[in-house]
Structure 1
Amino acid sequence: MKLTAQPKCLVMAMLGVTALTQQINAQESAFSIEEVIVTAQKRAQSVQDVGITMSAFGGDELKEMNVSDVVNVAANVPNVQVNYGLGNNFFNIRGLGLNEFTANLDAPVAVHVDEVYQSKGFLTGMTLFDIERVEVLKGPQGDLFGRNTTGGAVNFFTRRPEDTFSGNVTLGYGNYQTQNFEGYVTGPIADNLSGRLSGYMTRQEEGFYKNTTRGTTEGKVDEIGLRGQLLWNLEDTEILLSLHYGKDRSELLPYEGLGNTQLEGGFCPEYLDGSVKGNTPNCLRGLDLLFNPGAPISQYQPGEDDPYTTQNNLSFTVDNEAFGGLVKVEHKFDNAILTSITGYENFDQNQREDSDNSSIQSIEVYWYTEFEQFTQEFRLTSDLDHDRYNYIIGLFYEHDDYYNGDYLTAYANVFDGLNNYSRYNQTVDAFAAFAHLEFQLTESFRIINGVRFTWEETELNGGTFGGSGITDFGGEEKPETIGAAIASSDLIEGGNVRRDEDVSFKVSAEWTPNNDSMVYASVSTGFRSGGFSVAFANSQDELTALAPEEMTAYEVGFKSSWMEDTFRLNGAMFRYDFRDGHIDVDAPGSPVPITINAAEIETIGAELDLHWRPLEGLDLKAGMGWVDNEVKSDLTLATGIGPVSLKGNRPAFSPEWTFNGQVRYEAPIGDSMTAIFSTDFSWRDDHYLEVNNQPSNLLEAYWLVNARISIGSADDQWRASIWGKNITEEEYTPYLNDLPAFGWLLKGYAPPATYGISLDYNF
């Protein structure tokens, strides 16, 4: 794919910006934009001094935007989405992300919490509170971070213990009888020792959804999280111990279960053109017709098109528990810093769902996972004060132990032959050595070289089995009788153990003609682990072994500050050559999508970020992203609607255009109080939720708008706020499962409009 004339013009514009800033900066201002400090290159730097395309948000900013989870973070960054469903959260950056049905595969966008790699999508759900900042880095980052950073890295940093006593309590109440609490206390404990205890609780007693079958509401939330930290500051050594715990007894958001089959047979036209609704005449659930012949049509067809009205006979329950921690040790030598980070994560998942949203016992899934992760990283970093060079070299090790016991039942009271018990153990051992070297060639020109060697071994034991009946075995719902293997790890072509090696690199250059502008360019490669797609494989062919993903990325960008740093404009354009990408596809005989390797995906795109402070107290932000990507491999799939060619299709969760913005105004009220008015908004172009790009899985473009009004004391001791999220009541589906061979289309909707009040008190 060649660069078009439009991106070439952007390159010229980037070079022109540096000259323009020198002229405009002659103006003076008394209200410059506050500096944002990040650690994207493992040291504290201004975001404007880092030659990486990135976005960063401080903890106070996140609170003002009412950001409570990773989904809200993505909405405020161009070319970033979050794919979420079944309690898993996966970032998608510039069209690269994870769209697998289950979580045994690791994502190409790495997530770190306090520099500890979070390999699975369910690990971040109960740890994101008391946050100091979030950094979203785009493009391969393997020369500096843990594993699988093909698409980028999203790094969360929690607030650390302080050596002076302070605390905070935040209380909130919202619609759907939602109660929120978050707070912390920190301060000295003894000489050279300080501590911090923080926690949160969210309880939503009324769900977003009204269930007409059981006469209840669904989508309730019941979560708690705790974190305790101790920080020792010795003469040349700093030791941080952090432990966290979380418990989630919420309800997953249910599906809108649509049909696709005509009573007389074949697909209904409305399903094929993507216009099917819950009350579409003669567009019924196929398996209902197969196993309940002669039943009233109203049993299969709810007769309404409200996505927040459900009919499922089984509630979507969650009983998840997480525990983990880290020990970080930093020792300062005369001209270097040695860092050790030891991390441990343990997660137990026990969830159930009524997969077809039907009032009869039909398709139901019981999800069960036990997961342990151990990571160890060592880094040696120069003191970062050398005139000519700096370096970071490191070693990384990870061990994962993943047990899966998911059980899918299909008309268990009628026919046990469709029941599928996905039971397996997966272990991962990963080792890497990396180096990041910076050379200052002249006062204004610097080059950066990075290299990473990766060795990984993934072993799978188990597979999928037939089952009959259901029983509770120590909290795990499983078949009463486990039948013969449908697909077995013993029969995988090439064996049940994968060993993958890779050497990736980065070469970049930064030119800073003055203190207010930078132009940078880079070439880098990325690597994402191979593995196995095993969930509910309905035949041996559907238990697929996956080769690693590999990518070469080319990027040029600029960062600039104008008018005495009251106006910032940053931009970048990029090209990705992606090989052996993991994609989720429909299989005619499978009740869930399976994952395969696509030979080639090519991407070009561009981004702009703007921050302007025209008046004291007024901040205006905007971001725009453009991505043009497509599958280049000549690959035809056998699907439930017949053969589908993927060549020329867009990957899932990849809108061509994205836009986001924020407006914030802070004004004094007399001498002792202030008022803050803020809103943030985002727009996502229409995009497909599955790579086969059928009308049934097209998500139309949508806006999200949030707003907040706060009044507080001038010394920030207290603040009262009124807030609203999705205030325009946009209906959109971040999760979809399109299974034409089984006669249904499942859509998971995002929450409707929510609003509430909150009170912050600092002491």
Structure 2
Amino acid sequence: MSIRTRRAQLAGASAILLIFTSGAARAQANPAIDPADEAIEAAAGAGPSDSDIIVTAERRESRLQETPVAVSVIGGDALQTKQINSALDIGAALPSVQIGEGLGQLRISVRGIGFTDLRAGAEGRIAFYVNGVYNGQPSAQTGSFFDVERVELLRGPQGTLFGRNATGGAFNVTTRMPTTETSGYLNLTAGNYDTLNAEGALSGALSDTLSARVAVKLVNHSGYGRNLYTGTSINNAHTQSLRATLRWEPSDRFDVTLIANYHNEDDRNYMPSQFGQALPVTTLMEIPPFCTPETYSAPDCVLSFSRDTTSRYENSNRRWQKGVSLTTNYELNDWLSLKSLFAASFSYYRLVQGNSGSPGISPRNNFYSHNDQYTAEIQLLGDRGPLSFVAGAFYFNDKTTPRSLTALPRAAFVPNVENYLAQGSHSLATLLTRSVALYGQLTYEVADGLSVTVGGRYTSEKKHNHDNYLGTNFVTPFPAPGVTGGLILNPPNPGFPNDQHINVSKFNPKVTIDYKFSPDIFGYVTYSQGFKSGGFNWGQTNPPYPEEKVDNYEAGLKTTLFGGDATANVAAFYYDYSNIQTQVVGVGPGVSGVLTQSAGAATIKGVELEVGARPTRSLRFDGSLAVLDAKFKGDLTTVDNDRPQLGPLRLAGNWVQGAPRYTINVGGEYSFDLPDGTLSFRGEYRRTGKIDWSIFNLPTLRTPAYDVGNLFLNYEDGDGNWTAGLFVRNVGNTLAATTLFKQANALGAMASGSALEPRTYGVNLGYKF
């Protein structure tokens, strides 16, 4: 078949591939090359083919099209081009992924399994790694996206290859390493909302064996909304990030990498928006009518369906995260190597907000958390002939001291009294986690093209909720006269303080069979199991909630088409999901509000399709399609704590919270050769199906299907040193809730959550050497 004929066939097929594809599912072996661009050059015959692109999804280098796991990859240059500045932005570039934020906690959901606990101290279901270091605090995961080489997202339970067990997947961020030659870059971005961002790095050799790299990122923009009561902006950003990397290579077989990082935020970010009333409840206070920013009249209405808010308090976000890691690699011989990783990280945040939607009934919420985390990991990796394996040991020690101080309107809880802001509720605890795990995975090629992988993980974990405390006071006014901060430590409620314990040991297996049908067709089937240990409803008398488990049955097919001009990868999976840890707003004795409990079992079925095509050298299409069916099963019934008068409610058939019905990503790019460079235009479209945020599937706690489009115009000079671009993200200025939760009935049962970022546009300029 001639090249001209093959390209004609591909051009005809591209219209079909366009609606299914994913340019995010690419990787890079060279940090200076965006993996999607590398794949495009491959398709055009100007570089290595897709089958030569290297990923590290299985803790060793393997070809993307021959890796028996559902993995999506996006490179660092693509993050910069698309103005993806944090983990909150990257979800729109990946299939089966929903990323939002709640009370400053990063909420990552993959295939309908994600983080639902808004309270400090809980770990997510998606294990989050930066350079192999596990970060267990969702409040400290937003500052890692700078000077990135690539981001890999593994979908499905993980545990036989990684330090921390996970039921939903693994999110791996790899930053750029020091270079032996002097190199660096500087990227500047300016745009609406007074945006002025800067990112840069400088790298080079300090001696024959020692090299270093220093990277910095600054993010600044004004608020995406306003507090109409105080007149100040909210959801602005002022962040500073710094990373220093030292790499020592005394020989070809041994290297040591030391990384230190720091991230700081001081702004009014992470303020929730109001999306109406979740329940038509009757409270002890009169709830004002709803209004819009145009009809707002403080304090006579509740603002709803707006990025603005109304609070009598000045909102604030203050957080920092710092850490250090030491990684060593030693090649024992030509086929066996030993790796060690030791890390310590420390984080803190303080979030102050009033989020009821009306200043007349607004509480004053103060959320604090301080975290100390230590990890140690040792791996033995082997690759000899038909046999390859990974064996590891992992130690995790975590101490989190969360604290919640909420001053509440007195009339919301005490009938027929003068309404004023009372001291309200004060809860705190010391949460300790110690986990030890042994894991391993072995792959053996039993015949030409046929391989079998077996793996397992044994985890022993101890958790302790120490000095669990709750005190309430609806009499003493806030602020308390003469008391620093205006909030006093209330006497403990009956039953407090107390201690709680969890001890759990689990073994989780994995079996995979993969077969290379031809040089261009690779398939696999997998059974894997993951679990997430239980936790505590600190500040409450409720007992600990139990661990949850996922059994995954999956099959995948990865194909290279038209001689490398297109790829098409499909994965189908079935999850048997039990003891689901879900969050509700609790009421009753000893319950301060947010409550996590077991919601029984569910099945999650889905299909994911990722394809990419380049019909001509200048034109490419990419995108993805993911469809989910995520429903509770069995005869599970439970009482809705917000509507106890309804009695036990049957959950079977209800949609699992946080699982979109479908996601569609479509992208297209056309490039022009200019005398002194290249000009490219790219358009992207994503549609996200409706998402339920309540296990009771309340229509008022549901995000309807929504659409988002992005546009990019980029120029690169002929030498590859200078770049310039224009961008518009969220072209249609779509307003949608990326997370939702219900507030207390006494405060109006408002539906609160984080809103999609509004339309942003601007210009970026970059230089690298």
- TMscore range, shorter length: 0.7 to 0.9
Look up the SS of the partner of 2:65 in the other structure. Answer: helix
Question: Within 5 Å, which residues of 2 pair with 1:44-443?
Answer: 44-204=61-221, 206-235=222-251, 236-257=253-274, 258-259=276-277, 278=291, 299-302=299-302, 307-334=306-333, 335-360=335-360, 362-382=362-382, 384=383, 386-411=384-409, 414=419, 419-443=424-448
CA distance in 2, matches of 1:298, 1:489: 40
CA contact (8 A) 1:141 1:152 kept: yes
**Contact 1:718/1:760, CA 8 A, preserved across alignment:** yes
Residue by residue, what CA displacement relative to the aligned partner does 1:164-206 show, whole Å, maximum 9, x if unpaired? 10110111111011110000000001121000000100111x3
Q: Distance in 2 between matches of 1:693 and 1:668?
A: 52
| Deviation per residue, 1:128-167 (Å, 9 max, x gap) | 2111001110111210012231111110000011111011
Structure 1 residue 428 displacement after superposition: 0.3
Cα deviation for residue 632 of structure 1 reads: 1.5
The one of 21, 24, 30 equivalent to 2:45 is: 30
1:672-722 C-alpha deviation (Å, 9 max, x unpaired): 211121222211111112222101101110011111101120221011111
Please report how far the alpha carbon of residue 309 of structure 1 lies from its aligned counterpart in structure 2 after TM superposition: 3.3
The DSSP-based 3-state class of the residue aligned with 1:72 is helix
The CA deviation string for residues 614-662 of structure 1, in whole angstroms up to 9 with x for no partner, is: 1113221110111111112412223323434322211111111111122
- CA separation of 1:711/1:279 partners in 2, compared to 1, >3 Å: closer, same or farther? closer
Residues 418, 696 of structure 1: alpha-carbon distance in 2 compared, 3 angstrom cutoff: farther
The one-letter amino acid of 1:69's match is S
SS at match of 2:299: helix
Q: Aligned residue pairs: how many?
A: 703
SS in 2 for 1:62: helix
Q: Tell me the alpha carbon deviations over residues 375-394 of structure 1, each in whole angstroms, 9 at most, x when there is no partner.
A: 00000101x2x222111111
Report the AA paired with residue 118 of structure 1: N
Displacement of 1:103 in angstroms is 3.0
Deviation at 1:358, TM superposition (A): 2.2
Alignment check: 8 A CA contact 1:660 1:682 kept: yes
| Residues 472, 427 of structure 1: alpha-carbon distance in 2 compared, 3 angstrom cutoff | farther
Question: For 1:688-707, what aligned pairs fall within 5 Å after superposition?
Answer: 688-707=692-711
Deviation string for 1:78-123 (max 9, x for gaps)?
A: 2111131222112111111111121311111111110111111012
How many angstroms apart in 2 are the aligned matches of 1:507 and 1:264? 54
Q: State which drifts further: 500-509 or 576-585.
A: 576-585
One-letter amino acid of the counterpart of residue 315, structure 2: F
Of 748, 758, 764, the match for 1:758? 764
Does structure 2 conserve the Cα–Cα contact (< 8 Å) formed by 1:208 and 1:752?
yes
What is the SS of the residue equivalent to 2:88? helix
CA distance in 2, matches of 1:92, 1:731: 20
Q: Which runs of 5+ in 1 are unaligned?
A: 1-26, 281-295
Name the structure 1 match of 2:660.
655
Q: What displacement does 1:417 show?
A: 6.8
SS in 2 for 1:545: coil
- Cα deviation for residue 760 of structure 1 reads 0.3
Aligned with 1:456 (options 442, 457, 461): 461
Q: Is the 8 A contact 1:313 1:361 kept in 2?
A: no
Distance 1:97 1:440, change over 3 A: same
1:360 is displaced (CA, Å) by 3.7
Shift of 1:546: 1.4
Query: Is the contact between residue 593 and residue 744 of structure 2 (CA under 8 Å) also seen in structure 1?
Result: no
State the match for 1:287 in structure 2.
none
The farther-off stretch of 131-140 and 711-720 is 711-720
| Cα distance between partner residues in 2 of 1:262 and 1:51 | 49
Cα distance per residue 1:456-493 (max 9 Å; x no partner): 000001232225566799x9958324212366462xxx
> Which runs of structure 2 are paired with 1:469-488 in the superposition (5 Å)?
479-485=487-493, 488=496
What's the counterpart of residue 58 of structure 2? Answer: 41
- Do 1:221 and 1:251's aligned partners in 2 also have CA atoms closer than 8 Å? yes
Q: Which residue of 2 aligns with 1:599?
A: 600
Once the 2 structures are TM-superposed, how far is the Cα of residue 305 of structure 1 from its aligned partner? Answer: 5.3
Q: For residues 494 and 100 of structure 2, what CA distance do their matches in structure 1 show?
A: 29
Indicate the residue corresponding to 1:4 in structure 2. none
Stretch moving more, 521-530 or 72-81: 72-81
Q: Is the partner of 2:80 in helix, strand or coil?
A: helix
Sequence identity of aligned pairs in percent?
23
- Which residue of 633, 641, 644 corresponds with 2:643? 641
Structure 2 CA distance for partners of 1:47 and 1:262, relative to 1, 3 Å: closer
* 1:482 counterpart SS class: coil
In structure 2, runs of 5+ residues without a counterpart are 1-41, 411-417
Alpha-carbon distance between aligned partners in 2 of 1:108 and 1:629, rounded to the nearest angstrom = 16
1:67 Cα shift? 1.2
Q: TM-score, normalised by structure 2?
A: 0.87
1:566 deviates by: 1.0
Are the structure 2 counterparts of residues 736 and 673 from structure 1 closer, same or farther at C-alpha, using a change threshold of 3 Å? same
- In the other structure, the counterpart of 1:625 is 626
1:252-288 Cα offsets, whole Å, 9 max, x none, are 24334445788998999x99xxxx95359xxxxxxxx
Distance 1:583 1:265, change over 3 A: closer
Taking structure 1 as reference, are residues 297 and 40 closer, same or farther at Cα in structure 2, changes over 3 Å only? closer
2:674 equivalent to 1:669: yes
What TM-score do the two structures reach when normalised by structure 1? 0.87
Change (3 A) 1:253 1:83: closer
Distance (whole Å) between structure 2 residues aligned to residue 80 and residue 246 of structure 1: 25
Q: Which AA in structure 2 matches 1:91?
A: I
- Contact 1:423/1:465, CA 8 A, preserved across alignment: no
What's the CA shift for 1:436?
Answer: 0.7
Seen in structure 2, the aligned counterparts of structure 1 residues 344 and 477 have a Cα distance that, compared at 3 Å, is farther
